[in-house]
A and B are shown apart, each in its own frame.
Chain A
Amino acid sequence: MLMLRVRFHGRGGQGAKVASRVLGTAAFLEGYYAQDFPLYGAERRGAPIAAFTRIADEPIMERGVISEPDVVIVMDKTLLRDHQAKPLSGLKKGGVIFINTPQSPEEARAEYTIAGQIITLDLTKICLDILQRTVISSLAGAVAAKIVGLSEASLKAAVEKVISEIVTDSVILEKNIEAALYCFHAIPAVELKTTEAVQMESRVFTMPFEPAAISSPALNTTGTTVLRKTGNWRVFRPVWDYDACNKCQICVARCPEGCILVNEEGFPYVDYENCKGCLICVEECPAKTLGKEREVHAKADSEEVIG
C-alpha cells in the first residue's frame, strides 16, 4: 500500500494552500486517492501557514494535520527557525526536505544542522524572473510532484486546473505552467525511503481545576506581541542611506508597525526583528534614500537546534 504525506510550510500570500492543491490535483489526475487541506491561524499575509497533501492508492483514513510527513516543502527558508512553524518536526526517517533557497543542500544542511535528504532550489528567484512576483504556489506544487514521483503530464494538467480557478488572465496561467515545469525538471528524481508512520505514544492528562483568576482568557501583561518576531515575514528589507537621509521622519510616521525608530543623531532605523517588510517606508521616502534588499539570510530568533 502506498501512502505519502506531504507538508507545505509557507507564509500567508506565498501560496502554500494552492501548492497543496496542485499536488493533490496532480495525484488525483494520475489515479490516486488524494486529500489536501490548509491550516492557517489569525495571521494574514506574511505569517506562517501550513498545508497538507495526502496521496494513497487506497481510500485515505486520515484527517487534519500531518504530524509525521514523508516530505516537507519549505517555501520560505526563514521558517526553519520559526518556533511556531517548526517545519521539520516529525519528519520521518528517510524523508525529504525541500528548501526554497539559493543555497546548495550542503550549505543549508550546515547552516541549519539538518539530517536527512535535502533538496534546494531558489523558487523565489525563478518566480520573480518568470512571473515578476513572489507567489510560488505552482512552483512549490511542481517540486512536490517531482519528489513524490508524479508525471509531468499530471502536473501540467493540475496547474492548469488549479490556477485557472483562481486567475482569469491567460498570460499568468501560461507563465505559471512554464515556471512549474521549469522547477519540475530542475529537481532531481529522488527515492523516498520512509516507512509507515509510527504514531507517537501520548498519555492522556487529567486536567486540574484552576480558578478563573488563572484560567480566564485574559492577559495581565502588555505589549507582548513584540516577542513574536514578525521580522521573519519579510521577502525584502528596507535599507537606509544615511548620506542622503534628511531626517524628515516621514518613514517613522508611515510605518503601520511602529517599528521605525530614531537614533541619537536623528536618523531613522528599523527594528528588523519585527519589521514585516511592507516597504511603505521605501515608497514614501521623499528623498528616495531608502532601498530594498531581498532577504536571503534567515533571522535567527532563537538559538534552538533545528532538525
Chain B
Amino acid sequence: MGIERIKSIKDLPPEENVFSGTPACAGCGALLSLRLTLKALGRKIVIVNAAGCFTLLTIYPYTPFANSWLYTAMASAPAGAQGVRDALDILLEKGRLDPEEDLKVVVLTGDGAAYDIGLASTSGAIYRNLDFYYLCYDNEAYGNTGFQRSGATPFGSGTGTTPPGSVRPTGTELPKKDLFEIWRSHKPPYLATISPAYPVDLINKFKKAEQYKGPKLFIALSPCPPGWATDPSYTVKLAKLAVGTGVWALKEAVYGEVSHTIVPKKFKPVEEYLKEQGRFAHLFKPVRQEETLKKMQEMVDDYWKRHQLLL
C-alpha cells in the first residue's frame, strides 16, 4: 500500500498543533499522546471532547488548539461527532461548504468515558459506521476527579474508590476491560493501541488509518503522574516499561485482523513496571503480595501465549 511510513523520531511532523501553557499536570502522558496524535492528524480537524481531564485544556478565554473544538458531556462525545460529521456532509452535499473547509472529526476521550459511561454512544457510532477518529487517552482511572476506579483500571491498582485496606489488600479486584476487543466485535475498519513512548509507531498507525472511511480507534496508554503516584519525569519511561513488560500490547486490527506492531524481543518481568508506581506500592509494602503479583504476571503471559508470541 502506498503509505509513507516514517522511520525515526527525526521524521516526526515538525508542526505543533497543541500549544503549551495548558492546565494539564507537568509530565502528563495523555498530553504527550495528544500532541503526537495531532501531529499526525494536522489542523483540519474538529475535536469533539468528552468531559474529562481534557475538557479543561480549553478554559475561557484560552485554548491550546490550532483547530476547532466542541465540548460534549461525558457520555456522548461519539454522538456529538455524529452530529458534526453529518452536518458537515449535509453542508458539503448542499454546496454550502467549500470542500477545502471540510474537517476530520475526532473524538477525544478519557478512559472513564470510553470504557464506561460513553460505551453505548460509542457502540452506536461504530455501528452506524461513522467516519471519525477516536482517541482514548487511557490513564486507567477517573483521573479528572482525582483517581477513582474505572473500567480501564487494571487488577491490583489502588485507586480512590478501590483503596487497598487490611481486609481487601488488593486494591482493584477486577481486571481491565478489553476495549480493543469490544470495538473489534463491531468490525470497524481500523483499530490500534498506541503509546506516547513510541511516536514512530503512533504516527504510522494514523497514516495507515487515514485510508479507511469509518470508525478508527486509538487507545493510548498514558501515564498519569499524580494518579499513578510517579515522578513526572518518569512518564515516558513508564510508557516504555508498559510495552517492554508486555502489559500494553502495541497492535492494530484492520477489519478485525489483529497484528502486533511492536513485540519485545525479551519480555521484562511485570514487576519492573509495577514497582515504579505508587498505585501498586501496596503490592510490595508492608507485605509482599506474592499471589497477586504472580497473577498479574500470568495475566500478561496468558495474553501473549494466546497470540503465540510467547512460547
| Contact with B27, one of A219, A230, A256 (Cβ below 8 angstroms) | A256
> For the complex, is B66 an interface residue (Cβ under 8 Å from A)?
yes
User: What residues on A are CB-neighbors of B25 within 8 Å?
Assistant: 12, 44-46
| Contact with B19, one of A47, A234, A258 (Cβ below 8 angstroms) | A258
Contact digits for A140-171, partner B, Cβ 8 Å, 1 yes 0 no: 00000000000000000000000000000000
> For the complex, is A202 an interface residue (Cβ under 8 Å from B)?
no
Which of B31, B58, B61, B232 is most buried by chain A, counting CB atoms within 10 A of its CB? B232
> For the complex, is B93 an interface residue (Cβ under 8 Å from A)?
no
Q: B54-87: which residues lie under 8 A (CB-CB) from chain A?
A: 56-67
CB-nearest residue of chain A to B56:
A42
A224 B61 Cβ-Cβ under 8 A = yes
Known A256-B35, A283-B233; judge A277-B65 contact (CB<8 A). no
> For the complex, is A282 an interface residue (Cβ under 8 Å from B)?
yes
A256 to B232, CA, bound (A): 11
Contact digits for B185-207, partner A, Cβ 8 Å, 1 yes 0 no: 00000000000100100000000
Contact digits for B206-234, partner A, Cβ 8 Å, 1 yes 0 no: 00000000000000000001100000111
Binds A, one of B9-17, B102-110, B293-301: B9-17
- Least Cβ distance of B164 to chain A in Å? 10
> For the complex, is A291 an interface residue (Cβ under 8 Å from B)?
no
A199 to B35, CA, bound (A): 46
User: What residues on B are CB-neighbors of A250 within 8 Å?
Assistant: 9
> For the complex, is A287 an interface residue (Cβ under 8 Å from B)?
no
A44 B35 Cβ-Cβ under 8 A = no
A274 to B16, CA, bound (A): 14
A284 to B9, CA, bound (A): 13
Interface residue range, chain B: 35 or more
| Contact with A219, one of B24, B28, B36, B61 (Cβ below 8 angstroms) | B61
- Least Cβ distance of A166 to chain B in Å? 12
A283 B65 Cβ-Cβ under 8 A = no
A229 to B22, CA, bound (A): 9
Contact digits for B12-49, partner A, Cβ 8 Å, 1 yes 0 no: 10001011111111111101100110000000000000
Contact digits for A266-286, partner B, Cβ 8 Å, 1 yes 0 no: 000001001111111011100
A47 B27 Cβ-Cβ under 8 A = no
CB-nearest residue of chain B to A260:
B20
> For the complex, is B130 an interface residue (Cβ under 8 Å from A)?
no
Interface residue range, chain A: 35 or more
User: What residues on B are CB-neighbors of A274 within 8 Å?
Assistant: 20-21
| Contact with B64, one of A45, A223, A271 (Cβ below 8 angstroms) | A223
Known A224-B62, A225-B20, A253-B12; judge A46-B26 contact (CB<8 A). yes
Which of A224, A249, A280 is most buried by chain B, counting CB atoms within 10 A of its CB? A280
> For the complex, is A212 an interface residue (Cβ under 8 Å from B)?
no
> For the complex, is A228 an interface residue (Cβ under 8 Å from B)?
yes
User: What residues on A are CB-neighbors of B24 within 8 Å?
Assistant: 44, 256
- Least Cβ distance of A179 to chain B in Å? 20
Which of B21, B31, B57 is most buried by chain A, counting CB atoms within 10 A of its CB? B21
User: What residues on B are CB-neighbors of A223 within 8 Å?
Assistant: 19, 63-66
Q: A10-61: which residues lie under 8 A (CB-CB) from chain B?
A: 12-13, 41-47
User: What residues on B are CB-neighbors of A276 within 8 Å?
Assistant: 26-27
A278 B60 Cβ-Cβ under 8 A = no
A254 B65 Cβ-Cβ under 8 A = no
> For the complex, is B237 an interface residue (Cβ under 8 Å from A)?
yes
| Contact with A278, one of B56, B62, B233 (Cβ below 8 angstroms) | B233
User: What residues on A are CB-neighbors of B19 within 8 Å?
Assistant: 223-226, 258
A225 B63 Cβ-Cβ under 8 A = yes
> For the complex, is B235 an interface residue (Cβ under 8 Å from A)?
yes
> For the complex, is B242 an interface residue (Cβ under 8 Å from A)?
no
A217 to B55, CA, bound (A): 13
A193 to B32, CA, bound (A): 50
Which of A12, A217, A224, A250 is most buried by chain B, counting CB atoms within 10 A of its CB? A224
Q: A205-257: which residues lie under 8 A (CB-CB) from chain B?
A: 217, 219, 221-230, 233-234, 248-250, 252-257
CB-nearest residue of chain B to A279:
B233
- Least Cβ distance of A225 to chain B in Å? 4
A45 B232 Cβ-Cβ under 8 A = yes
A230 B22 Cβ-Cβ under 8 A = yes
User: What residues on B are CB-neighbors of A255 within 8 Å?
Assistant: 32
> For the complex, is B236 an interface residue (Cβ under 8 Å from A)?
yes
A278 to B61, CA, bound (A): 25
> For the complex, is A85 an interface residue (Cβ under 8 Å from B)?
no
User: What residues on B are CB-neighbors of A115 within 8 Å?
Assistant: none
Which of A223, A248, A284 is most buried by chain B, counting CB atoms within 10 A of its CB? A223
B226 A225 Cβ-Cβ under 8 A = no
| Contact with A228, one of B31, B62, B66 (Cβ below 8 angstroms) | B62
User: What residues on B are CB-neighbors of A233 within 8 Å?
Assistant: 26
A46 to B226, CA, bound (A): 11
Q: Given A225-B64, A278-B27, A282-B233, list of 16 further CB < 8 A pairs? A: A12-B25, A42-B59, A44-B226, A226-B19, A227-B62, A230-B20, A249-B9, A253-B12, A276-B26, A278-B26, A278-B28, A278-B232, A279-B27, A279-B233, A280-B27, A283-B236
Q: Could you pull out 20 A-B pairs where Cβ atoms are within 8 angstroms?
A: A41-B23, A43-B56, A44-B25, A44-B226, A45-B26, A45-B232, A219-B58, A224-B61, A225-B20, A227-B21, A228-B62, A234-B26, A249-B10, A252-B12, A257-B22, A258-B16, A258-B18, A275-B20, A279-B233, A280-B232
List the 5 closest pairs (A to B, CB-CB), nearest first: A278-B27, A225-B21, A42-B56, A276-B26, A44-B25
- Report which B residues bind A (CB closer than 8 A): 9-10, 12, 16, 18-29, 31-32, 35-36, 56-67, 196, 199, 225-226, 232-237
